[in-house]
Structure 1
């Protein structure tokens, strides 16, 4: 059971590859008689990496310990049985102290955690309260690890990229700054774990309990590459998202665009809301042919965008591949009983979002949006218009105008967001996941810069851009949009060049 794929996923179990374990451990200055704990040792990859390092350094006497709720001890049978404990780390006695703690903590996302367990953890350990209930499991593990370190000890861990960009991780980074004299971080671009497309961060904290004097940070394509560490200050480290591009330079650049060239934040013109959350897309969203077989007619169905890949066809007015969302309420209970009973039979009614509705199968879509913006995208995200009065799932944000915008103003918003000036403001506030995928939350997206105008000379450029977007030639789109704004707004060459440099730096930091 514990080797079952679903079991591992549900418990956040992703065993550490040897090459990743060695890379992490080889940076530790271990010595004779050191005590070392892995609080989620699993198959023992990190403890075995310590043994390999000890052998290479001719260290003969180490005290290795591990605890895990679901251990696999086959490779660690040579260690004293008493040193390996099958226990939840949060139940592991905090009086047990160690010189080194090494960790690949469980990657259980907040929404999949046992809420009662988190409540107990927050009650038992006051140190956890800075995270509240909004963190993934690995973050709680890191704080608990700090309770087991001897003064002067070291901590290292393999953790998700969320560490450098998630809202809750900002508080965790501030805590770690206060705990370690030296911090070193490598953000790896290449995923290294089986069955999960998750980029990881390698963290080392040295000399626990001393005032911080140095933070070193490097992006790295893969373990074969050589890190180029840059010293960063506490302001960068403690910001909501670590970006090596100097934020002050970006801020200054954007202030010039606002004051001298009339750019504004998009929140001045629009409201941004997540798309429709059904709780069971495979049930509520289907092809037209499937749904009419249940007796539905067009009035019962709403065309809906479900993923970013559908955008080029949509802006090209090709709607044939779109699926449809079922719109029914309790009045239709008898008419569509087969459809409803099928959902109950497959227990869709028991899913979180469904059971939280008054009528589990009745989805409130809210009003039709004016435009859309993708939630996740590989590069160059852009706003596009809802010319066909449809809806979107929560993979695509819905945009609502605060006042009626005419067609010319709409075109200016789209083109300016696609310019290098708009893209910098988007990239700087977006988060990065997977293989460099951008993730735009509604809050940060509000800060995207746009230029709005009634100058109709934009029509030609807008039409050219539309064709390029349909062909997915996005890099050419940015060049064209930027060139148009440079000419119309008379943006100086030095600002353009500076913006290119900032944009390239931000892009490289997530694509390395």
Structure 2
């Protein structure tokens, strides 16, 4: 039997792709449903709830489990409860259960956030001994309006304050926990975001506080081939306010490993104690390796990138096809150099560890979009006014980002960073020295240093294994194996303290490092930097531990994304794709 991740809906084959995305509906393999209910249901009389039941894949598996435990088939229907927002799903669930000899279970059609365990509040289901299923996974962009507000209110009633940017699964797991009796068991499939996103910190702390024997099961291979997101299986025993703060981690290769059964899988797990508020990615590493690496970084005097400066997103034009242009487009429009700035509008433009003026000119000559329009009201005359008129004819003043500006064509926050930071990376993020003095759109971040003279040595130092490990821990793993780094996360990255000696050595090494990165030999570049940065402050064992931890997290991320890890591939980015971009322009302003 097939089910569906995040909202097991085999009936979802009747839904459009857009509708499926709005509902968070995907397919869940039966190996996962059977394993989850085998662990969660320990007695024939257990009451079971699936808060996103879809076509009842988990509930059908639960019924089979109850029969194994000796339950009276006539009593099972009264022990099963499910909720789903989709009418087709509820109808299919009832039909599937009836085929299995389970007529008239408690199936509620509606928004789970409006269902209560309190008899005095609207729709309700009784307290459960087992909470199983695959809650809807709807990103915050689609999880909105009344449904989002209801979810956030439900989580708050349970004592968990979640930010507005939370995806649907976060309040779901919190609200669902309120239906579980003390001593009851939870077995839910959740997005891998649980391990690392910032907004889930309150959920992670809630789980550690409310559950004992808390376990996460991860998979190196994709569980859902049709979905980009990683998933984990979370298990726990309800112990309100009495959780021991411990987390068992079971790292499996694939769903086939679940065939060993819950006892064997959990026995092979490793128990760790995550610090409150911290991400759980480090829990995937050997505890000795983590503590050893952190101790070594402290002794080596590593600081954060935020100690050295600030990280900002680039300029958000709202219409790259108008503001970013090639030399030919600029010349055809007769735009003067006074309103044109060199720009980086694609991460692919910065291939190495530095971006030079010569490279900018080379790309410009090749017809690439390397100019950005930077005009204010005082510039709106002659050819500039005619070009602005063209934008008005395109309807640009009505676009969201444009209509909030006065005048609409004056792009704010156009600055010249000391370095660029690639923030959507495959192998590793990179700092790139901005020798071309270009500005940037929001396809790459800009880094502004308190001491700009440290840009070159910092770009080299950034490829240190310890810094790249920090990036794997602080960043977010997205579909396709991509590592995303938001500015606030980048500020927490651990970087070497640049002593005069290191500044001299790293500056001298930058040409070699730059060449290795351009040749897609990231690992060799990292090893060269490690010899300079770590060689005198860490033992060989400590350096090896850091490299092993980096390899472990990177491999896990990339294997899930593509099935194969390609070593030493240059970072690349994807973000808004400009239609145009750059001529010969005035030097950019420094912030």
Give the structure-2-normalised TM-score. Answer: 0.74
2:398 alignment partner in structure 1 = 349
Residue 212 of structure 1 aligns to a residue whose secondary structure is coil
Residue 255 of structure 2 aligns to a residue whose secondary structure is coil
Map 1:91-240 → 2, pairs under 5 A? 91-95=114-118, 96=125, 97-123=127-153, 126-127=157-158, 129-193=160-224, 196-209=227-240, 211-213=242-244, 215-225=247-257, 228-233=268-273, 235-236=274-275, 238-240=277-279
How far off is 1:373 after superposition? 0.9
Q: 1:35 aligns with which of 32, 42, 47?
A: 47
How far off is 1:469 after superposition? 0.8
Deviations 1:352-407 (A, max 9, x none): x44544455542143111111111212232211112232333342101121331xx
2:311 alignment partner in structure 1 = 272
Q: 1:437 aligns with which of 478, 482, 492?
A: 482
For the Cα contact (< 8 Å) 2:44–2:70, is it kept in 1?
no
CA distance in structure 2 between the partners assigned to 1:510 and 1:194 by the alignment:
15
| Change in 2 beyond 3 A, CA 1:145/1:357 | farther
Residue 6 of structure 1 aligns to a residue whose secondary structure is helix
Residue 463 of structure 1 aligns to a residue whose secondary structure is helix
C-alpha RMSD of the superposition: 3.4
CA distance in structure 2 between the partners assigned to 1:107 and 1:50 by the alignment:
22
For the Cα contact (< 8 Å) 1:107–1:138, is it kept in 2?
yes
| Change in 2 beyond 3 A, CA 1:197/1:505 | closer
2:580 alignment partner in structure 1 = none
CA distance in structure 1 between the partners assigned to 2:316 and 2:159 by the alignment:
31
Residue 531 of structure 2 aligns to a residue whose secondary structure is helix
Verify: 1:481 aligned to 2:529, yes or no: yes
CA distance in structure 2 between the partners assigned to 1:224 and 1:191 by the alignment:
12
Q: 1:500 aligns with which of 547, 561, 564?
A: 547
Map 1:285-296 → 2, pairs under 5 A? 285=324
| Change in 2 beyond 3 A, CA 1:342/1:205 | same
Residue 211 of structure 1 aligns to a residue whose secondary structure is coil
In the alignment of these two chains, the number of paired residues is 499
CA distance in structure 2 between the partners assigned to 1:90 and 1:281 by the alignment:
40
Give the structure-1-normalised TM-score. Answer: 0.84
Greater CA deviation, 171-180 or 319-328?
A: 319-328
CA distance in structure 2 between the partners assigned to 1:477 and 1:217 by the alignment:
33
| Change in 2 beyond 3 A, CA 1:490/1:243 | closer
| Change in 2 beyond 3 A, CA 1:303/1:343 | farther
CA distance in structure 2 between the partners assigned to 1:52 and 1:306 by the alignment:
56
For the Cα contact (< 8 Å) 1:152–1:209, is it kept in 2?
no
1:420 alignment partner in structure 2 = 465
Q: 2:420 aligns with which of 346, 357, 372?
A: 372
